[in-house]
Amino acid sequence: MKLNNGIEIPQIGLGTFMLEPHDAENSVKNALEIGYRLIDTANAYVNERAVGRAIKSSSVDRKDIFLSTKLWPSEYENENAIDETLERLGVDYIDLLFLHQPAGNYIKGYKMLEKAYEQGKIKAIGISNFEGKYIDEILDICKIEPQVIQVEAHPYFHQDDLRKITEKKDIKIMSWYPLGHGDSNLINEDVFKKLSEKYHKTKAQIILKWHINMGFIVIPGSKNVEHIKDNFDIFDFELTTDDMNLINSINKNKRYYIRTLEQLEHFANFKPHYESK
């Protein structure tokens, strides 16, 4: 997909949320061998060094890998945060750097991203979980508009309100919880059973293809190499307009994660314990 600054991003990638460093390293190595070229991590996942090792040891050229990570709120006032993130990853630049949460001094954090963008340390700017008033505020103060927003999105939650803004500004949505946080009710909806049989694909593959057709970037994570392979194997079939309408009919406007003000306060003060090696 082409971002609003002309840079291209793969539409499916590997997420590393909740992966311990050793599992993250193995998953990234396997994903790159399988053909993935988008890898997503974050300061708060505490696996950036492991992700960096996997990229460095890969036979894939760095220029062919699209690497995204996220600054944690306690880093928004740290002038060295981006250089420290680069050091942990062992890279000279980051393809897409997000602010992870709308907590702490995120205005200063955003200006830090803009400066890094102008310096060439990052190739694209992202905001993660900045919905509602938060994206409005960023768009009001920014000099450089964000290229990507990462938020919860799945067939039970289409981000309809957010998409009215992102489509106007050509900001791409990157989905987390793309399979509904593993909710069996979602995965076992009749529509996915029927389409799974129709296309000889798993229900998860049908859902991931839905994300692609919706124009979302999607980053399913796993430490199981077979799941990593299956998640990437979604480009040999096409969902029809009728298929998409059937899937869209199960939208419940239902989130699995509800963020509270107390959590935002905690995020602003919590400092990740980064890997020592």
Q: Where are the domains of the chain?
A: 14-269
Residue 57 pLDDT grade (very low, low, confident, very high; cuts 50, 70, 90): very high
Q: How far apart are CA 206 and CA 239, in angstroms?
A: 8
Topology (CATH level 3) of domain 14-269: TIM Barrel (3.20.20)
Total-model pTM: 0.96
Q: Does the annotation mark 45 as catalytic?
A: yes
> In this structure, are residues 177 and 256 in contact, taking their beta carbons and an 8 Å threshold?
yes
pLDDT at 182 over 90: no
Determine the pLDDT at residue 133: 96
Q: What is the DSSP letter of 202?
A: -
From 45, 110, 117, 134, active-site residue: 45
The mean pLDDT of 96-100, rounded to a whole number, is 98
pLDDT of residue 276: 79
Pairing of β 217-218 and β 14-15: unpaired
pLDDT at 277 over 90: no
Confidence at residue 222, expressed as pLDDT on a 0 to 100 scale: 95
**Cα 97 to Cα 19: distance, rounded to the nearest angstrom:** 19
* Tokens read off for 127: 């905001």
Closest Cα to residue 19, out of 269, 228, 276, 257?
A: 228
